[in-house]
Structure 1
Amino acid sequence: MSGLPKLDRNSNATVQNTTLGIWLMVATTVVFAVQDGISRHLASEYNVFMVVMIRFWFFAAFVMALAARDAARQGEGLRAAVRSRFPWLQVVRGLLLVTEVCVMVLAFVKLGLVESHAVFTCYPLLIAALSGPILGEKVGWRRWAAIMIGFVGVLIILQPGYAVFSPWALVPLLSALLFAVYGLLTRYVARGDSAGVSFFWTGMVGAAAMTLVGLWYWEPMSGADWGWMGALCCTAILGHWLLIKAFAVAEASAIQPFAYLQLVWASGLGLFLFGEELRTNVAIGAGLVVAAGLFTLWRQRVKERQA
């Protein structure tokens, strides 16, 4: 018996298991939080570009293996398995994601895990706000109100005009914007490309782009840190595998709210391992952002059911 989900006899779709999907998403958030903690450690000791480059080398090897496996199952060549209807958009997606990863890891070093993730949690609000101009989707007044409340939360976290405002505080906001555009383009290319094709292009484009940049910043790494680098690569692969499985067995709208748990786990690592501080304004602002994000996800689910 294979480990793939069973199929309904009367349908070609995978049988949905929301409970399993929720647990897989929770596991995903734990793995990604650990990944962020390792990234923070390595990027504090070595150049960000080098760290991200090595991570994407392993990511590219993983997606190559998946593509080869799928091609063998379908009896087709590798070229057919990764053929895209939107090659240039796939390239843009890959460049956006690898840039977002670099920016976010830099934010971990400059701001810490707690504040970086507190700001980054606004990305679902950015997706909702940009879904109109990019995808032509309609955003109602309720979701616009939630988006505005969420950005009030971001302002509370950033505290512009209070004391000395650090420009580094805008770095995770830039990361959230890049990730939001990446997510919207992922939804757009899904109209013609399978998830496997998009996954392949993401890994290969990211690895190629980072190799062109990262090799210029290569520096010797200690044996212990090579161990951490191996752990970083393994968590990246495991996290993406768990995420794929979660979306394969449950509706996105049902499990996406649990993605906010990554803020909890990453903040815990920041507080207890890296000695970071949870300031009151960050806690209040993050609470507003998460609440607004959960509301927009709920409204999206309501609209999908009505449609």
Structure 2
Amino acid sequence: MNTGHQKQLNTPLGIWLMVATTFVFAVQDGLSRHLAGEYNVMMVVMVRYWFFAAFVVTIAGRKPGGLRAAMQTELPGMQIFRGLLLAAEINVMVLAFVYLGLVESHAVFACYPLLIAALSGPILGERVGWRRWAAIGVGFVGVLIILQPSGGVFSPYAVIPLVSALMFALYGLLTRYVGRVDSATTSFFYTGVAGAVLATAVGLWFWEPMTPPDWGWMATLCITGALGHYLLIRCYEVAEASAVQPFAYLQLVFASAMGVMLFGETVRLNVALGAGLIVAAGLFTLWRARKVG
């Protein structure tokens, strides 16, 4: 009996873990929106990253070989760049929450799997067939419906979550790229540590005192960040990524519900329609990728 690297799959548990992950990340987005509305975004992200880096170092330290093994990488430049890119992306997305709200930010950001599919050819050398290209096209029609560039109500702020989605897609592709030679622990280590260095280098310039209640919210934000990543790691340990990935779209649903209930946001018809197209296109590209690959 092989007890080594044989992975025991439990897809139903994986799906529930992904649902829990998306809910925790949606709570984190709501907390980020509240805090970044009161304080500088860079400072909020910096404090969040301190906790995240401590969590990453703790996880790495408990793995075989400890921190020394986690730090060993074949692609140090690429790993550091990935970490910096994610920290910058989080700042951009939290800015989107402040200017656009949770509903519209998440509706636009939902296109990132389509961007990953579109860029996987030039960056990873993967083949993307005409059906997936058609789905990518449909998804971007959805983005245009949300943005309404010709409707006279186009807000330049709407570009912020689109930039964030592009950055996150690039981060996802680079994570896949380094994953060919480095372990998941190594990638996770550099994500937290490199990101914390950048977040601190920028965030310290924007430090402002916080009220005691907001320190409570900040502590909750830090805990949800670590919990979300822990749940995600567990999710990918017990189930194939392709089986649980469709459920990642629930973050759009949970975050939109929070936007409506807690922040008084509204879901405009064009946003609902556009988001529906993006999610449908994203689910189709996932299905095709699973069928082809």
Provide TM-score, normalisation by structure 1.
Answer: 0.94
* CA 1:186–1:269: 2 relative to 1, 3 Å: same
Offset of 1:89 from its aligned partner? 0.3
Whole-angstrom CA distance in 2 between matches of 1:172 and 1:139: 25
- In 1, Cα distance between equivalents of 2:202 and 2:113: 29
1:144: Cα distance to partner?
A: 0.2
Change (3 A) 1:65 1:11: closer
In structure 1, the partner of 2:6 is 13
Choose which of 1, 18, 30 in structure 1 pairs with 2:23. 30
- Name which of 25, 33, 45 aligns with 1:52: 45
Say which of 104, 112, 131 aligns to 1:123: 112
State the partner residue of 1:3.
none
Q: Number of aligned pairs?
A: 293
1:86 to 55, 62, 75: 75
Residue 262 of structure 2: which of 273, 276, 284 is its match?
A: 273
Q: Structure 2 CA distance, aligned partners of 1:58 and 1:98?
A: 13
User: What's 2:130 paired with?
Assistant: 141
Which runs of structure 2 are paired with 1:1-307 in the superposition (5 Å)? 9=2, 12-70=5-63, 74=64, 76=65, 78-304=67-293
Q: What displacement does 1:79 show?
A: 2.0
8 Å Cα contact 2:60-2:66 kept in structure 1: no
Distance in structure 1 (CA, Å) of the matches to 2:71 and 2:6: 22
Deviation at 1:128, TM superposition (A): 0.1
SS at structure 1 position matched to 2:36: helix
Shift of 1:163: 1.4
Corresponding letter in the other structure for 1:260: Y
Deviations 1:49-107 (A, max 9, x none): 0000000000000111111111xxx3x35223321111000011011101110000000
Structure 1 residue matching 2:74: 3-state secondary structure = coil
In the aligned structure 2, how far is the partner of 1:101 from the partner of 1:43? 12
Q: One-letter code of the match for 2:251?
A: Q
Helix, strand or coil at the partner of 1:273: helix
Question: In structure 1, what is the Cα distance between the partners aligned to 2:252 and 2:66?
Answer: 41
Report if the CA contact (8 A) 2:21-2:228 is conserved: yes
CA distance in 2, matches of 1:121, 1:80: 35
CA distance in 2, matches of 1:25, 1:84: 28
The CA distance in 1 between the partners of 2:102 and 2:219, in whole Å, is: 21
Q: Any idea what SS the aligned residue of 2:2 has?
A: coil
Residues 106 and 161 of structure 2 are in contact (CA less than 8 Å); yes or no, is this contact kept in structure 1? yes
Amino acid of the structure 2 residue aligned with 1:56: Y
Bigger shift: residues 264-273 or 157-166: 157-166
Q: What amino acid is aligned across from residue 206 of structure 1 in structure 2?
A: G
Deviation at 1:282, TM superposition (A): 0.2
Q: Is the 8 A contact 2:57 2:67 kept in 1?
A: no
| Residues 77 and 275 (structure 1), Cα distance of their counterparts in 2 relative to 1, 3 Å cut | closer
SS of structure 1 residue aligned to 2:263: coil
| Distance across 2 between alignment mates of 1:98 and 1:176 | 13
Q: Aligned-pair distance for 1:165?
A: 1.7
Provide the rounded CA distance (Å) in 2 between the counterparts of 1:130 and 1:78: 33
User: Contact (CA 8 Å) 2:70, 2:189: kept in 1 or not?
Assistant: no
Amino acid in structure 1 at the alignment position of 2:138:
I
Gaps of 5+ in 2: none
Matched AA of 2:23: V
Change (3 A) 1:21 1:164: same
